[in-house]
Amino acid sequence: MSFSTATTWLFSFSLTLAWPSQLRAMTPTGAFCWYSAWCLVGAIIAYFFVPETRGLSLEELDFIFSMPIHIHGANKLQQLQYWLRMRPDRPRDIREIAREHFSAIAAEVQADEKTSASSVKQESPVDLVDTKTSI
């Protein structure tokens, strides 16, 4: 939280410092368009390269965030093409891609969990003997 607050203050300070010189160099419309363009660039980057996490379990999130970022970008590009009707077939869900990509890892994890669950033994409670020594 402190890092995000410091980042907000840093950008607020830099904007306050840069705004008067931007107004002199550009018109007010140009200065606002400059910042609007940066917001558009940020929105495009967030759309293509920030994974969707809605409705995913913690195990699925592990797989999603372990996938290379170019797979997320390619999947989002296919979704965009489908929505713009540039692509007739519906793109696959990212969870399906993650399951295929990490099926071997998931099989190993499940096998390890089964072996560790079967190897856990029920330990009997240790009887504590009260030893009294006389002086």
Give the residue with greater pLDDT, 59 vs 132: 59
What would the mean pLDDT of 53-70 be, rounded to a whole number? 85
Check residue 77 and give its pLDDT: 92
pLDDT band at residue 119 under the 50/70/90 scheme: low
State the pTM of this model.
Answer: 0.59
Mapping DSSP onto H, E and C, the string for 52-118 reads: CCCCCCHHHHHHHHHCCHHHHHHHHHHHHHHHCCCCCCCCCCHHHHHHHHCHHHHHHHHHHHHHHHH
* Dihedrals phi, psi of 110, to nearest 5 degrees: -65, -40
- Residue 46: what residue type? A
Q: Which residue in this structure is represented by tokens 């590009």?
A: 77
Token pair for residue 63? 């797989």
**How many residues comprise the chain?**
135
What average pLDDT does this structure show over 84-108? 80
- Per-residue confidence (pLDDT) for residue 103, from 0 to 100: 75
